[in-house]
Amino acid sequence: MFDVMLINGTVVDGSGSAPRRADVGIVDGRITAVDDLSGAEAREVVDATDRIVAPGFVDPHTHYDAQLHWDAAATPSSNHGVTSVIGGNCGFTLAPLRESDADYTRKMMAQVEGMPLTALERGLNWDWTTFGEFLDRLEGRTAVNAGFLVGHCALRRFVIGPESTGRESTPDELRAIEGALGDALDAGGLGFSTSLSSTHNDGDGQPVSSRFASHDEVLALCDVVSRHEGTTLEAIVQGCLGTFSDEEIELLASMSARANRPLNWNVLSISADKADRARHQLKPSTRAREIGGRVVALSMPVFSDNNMSFLTFCALWLIPGWRDILDRPVPERIEVLNDPAVRDEMMAKARASETLGQLAEFERYLIGPDVLSDANESVRGRMVGEIAAERGQDPFTTLVEIVTNDELKTVLWPQPSADATEDWELRREFWEHPDVLLGGSDAGAHLDRMLGAAYPTRFIGDCLRGRKLVSLERAVQLLTDEPARLFGLRDRGRIEAGYHADVVVFDPATITAEPAYVAFDLPGDSKRLLATAVGVEHVYVNGVETVTDGQPTGATPGTVLRSGRDTESVRTA
């Protein structure tokens, strides 16, 4: 007698093998049979005729550390078929934590990861100290399997205190940081994450703590990781958004070799006009293999929805020199933006930035539908480049006129660049590289201005009915088995007897995601972007249905993925 039996479906098992007609039987949260089960009995039978039965999708780069405390389903990821998520990325976790540092941590996460401060204040109790206590708060309370890396910033703040944002560690402090990391890994932390990127600043606008760490400190912590089963590494350095320096290439490769664990970084941008840059970004992978490591680049297989405004913090603030303008009080900000000399200086700084200059390509910005002033009624839903041409202006001048009419509240939607056939052909080439992994959604972060969580359904739909860049079986493998293997997830990522029953059933004729929309459903009525899943009919986590027809059921069968217990070491040498 099966607990659940999915019958008459087409199984795409995650291995890359061709789809096949089979039934799937589940008992006690495990897949126990993938075969013709005619005549078998089950407590629950789901007819999957004309449907695909696949492993649940694995998202390797999220920031659900906070959201899972008020949203057990990790929406919208789970709605789109995601059954396992990895959090604690970029050096940012909520533990270990001293009570006196809770406010600092909330403000840092609000700034650096775009989590609404009100939601962080109202949605969590902040009543843990150790990493193990943080994990225990989530055990048995989530609808997804969730594993968390241990963030460098939290470790340094826990040991050094406020001075961690101003200096390197002393030898005694480094030993204490190593001990705190070891304790967190013993409790189930999946590994170590860090950031050395200038884009990461705390709530006071100062560099986050990990940016003050020496390379010797970073490598010493990789040594700690090497001594714990089932662990991994993640790092963000300055070159992740631009071009890696020789020093960064050596650091990333050395981190992996010292830990004898894979290291992943986010995110590899690929476009035909910058093909050489994309290939250069794989040099850490080449160097790592030379010294016994493995470095993996994450890359998104679709464009993420994103928006921004000149009113609140967004990516534009990261352009060198722009924060000085955009951080001023609104009336002064408007006055300064209306100065042509200031705009010329801002654009010069943007053009000089290899990493962030494309953010100032305002001709490809779409004016959102929710304009506020009568003066902007004629530009609703139109491209800035088109409007600027009509007015005989440069795009930045036109944009400033529009946003100042709305007192900077205009919502702007940058449209994708690098969307030609040659761009997608190059991406397909990179997806087959052994050191490139699909993912990097940032789900749970930048909630009010970016939505990457819908990438699995959009990608599958595109492979079936759009560009058809890869076969269905390869697309499923890229979203399931490959990330599961990188993180060493035990018995996850495939439809196979003995594996955990993390399963998604979807309609191949319709699977996709609808366009993003704004919702005010976070604690304190804070806003975020969401996208409705289409064609996702059933999602099972550990054999229990968590999503029906794209909506959470309320069940919480997820497991906190703890290193060693739920993961095995993926060694590089």
Separation of alpha carbons 543 and 28, rounded Å? 7
Residue for token pair 């039934």: 23
Q: How far is CA 433 from CA 30, 235, 245, 297, 299, in A?
A: 32, 20, 21, 10, 11
Does position 506 have pLDDT exceeding 80, yes or no?
yes
Confidence (pLDDT) at 439: 97
- pLDDT tens per residue, range 145-171: 999 999 999 999 999 999 999 999 999
Cβ atoms of 508 and 87 within 8 Å: the answer is no
What lies within 8 Å, CB to CB, of 26 at 6+ separation is 2, 3, 4, 5, 6, 32, 501, 503, 540, 543
Residue for token pair 């008020």: 70
What is the DSSP pairing of strand 450-451 with strand 305-306? antiparallel
Confidence (pLDDT) at 317: 87
Cβ atoms of 42 and 81 within 8 Å: the answer is no
Does position 357 have pLDDT exceeding 90, yes or no?
no
Does position 324 have pLDDT exceeding 80, yes or no?
yes
User: What letters, b where the CB count within 10 A reaches 16 and e where it falls short, cover 380-398?
Assistant: eeebbbebbeeeeebbbbb
- pLDDT tens per residue, range 294-316: 999 999 999 999 999 999 888 89
Cβ atoms of 225 and 150 within 8 Å: the answer is no
Query: 571 falls in which pLDDT band (50, 70, 90)?
Result: very high
Confidence (pLDDT) at 372: 83
A 10 A CB-CB count for 214 gives: 11
DSSP state letters, 294-339: EEEEEE-SSPPEE-B-SSS--GGGGSTTTHHHHTS-HHHHHHHHT-
Separation of alpha carbons 491 and 485, rounded Å? 10
3-state secondary structure of 45: strand
Rounded to an integer, the average pLDDT of 343-366 is 91
Separation of alpha carbons 304 and 415, rounded Å? 10
Mean pLDDT (the chain, rounded): 96
Rounded to an integer, the average pLDDT of 526-555 is 97
Q: Does the N-terminal peptide bond of residue 456 adopt cis geometry, omega within 30 degrees of 0? A: no
Separation of alpha carbons 86 and 89, rounded Å? 8
Confidence (pLDDT) at 353: 86
Q: Name the CATH topology of 58-305+421-468.
A: TIM Barrel (3.20.20)
Separation of alpha carbons 156 and 166, rounded Å? 11
Q: Whose CA is closest to 183, among 208, 210, 167, 159?
A: 159
- pLDDT tens per residue, range 32-81: 999 999 999 999 999 999 999 999 999 999 999 999 999 999 999 999 99
User: What letters, b where the CB count within 10 A reaches 16 and e where it falls short, cover 133-153?
Assistant: ebbebbeeebbbbbbbbbbbb
Residues in the chain: 573
Which two three-digit tokens encode residue 81? 């078929």
Q: How far is CA 269 from CA 204, 212, 278, 539, in A?
A: 29, 27, 7, 30
Confidence (pLDDT) at 541: 98
- pLDDT tens per residue, range 182-235: 999 999 999 999 999 988 999 998 999 999 999 999 999 999 999 999 999 999
Amino acid at 222: C
Query: 355 falls in which pLDDT band (50, 70, 90)?
Result: confident
Query: 177 falls in which pLDDT band (50, 70, 90)?
Result: very high
Rounded to an integer, the average pLDDT of 386-397 is 97
% of the chain beyond a pLDDT of 90: 93
- pLDDT tens per residue, range 421-474: 999 999 999 999 999 999 999 999 999 889 999 999 999 999 999 999 999 999
- pLDDT tens per residue, range 101-112: 999 999 999 999
Confidence (pLDDT) at 197: 93
Q: How far apart are the first and last CA of the chain?
A: 44
Which two three-digit tokens encode residue 214? 């020496």
The alpha carbon of residue 371 and the mean position of all alpha carbons in its chain are separated, in whole angstroms, by 30
Annotated domain spans of the chain: 2-56+503-557, 58-305+421-468, 307-414
Separation of alpha carbons 526 and 467, rounded Å? 36
CATH class label, 2-56+503-557: mainly beta
Cβ atoms of 350 and 356 within 8 Å: the answer is yes
The overall longest dimension of the chain from CA atoms, in Å, is 78
What lies within 8 Å, CB to CB, of 22 at 6+ separation is 9, 11, 34, 35, 36, 53
Rounded to an integer, the average pLDDT of 86-93 is 98
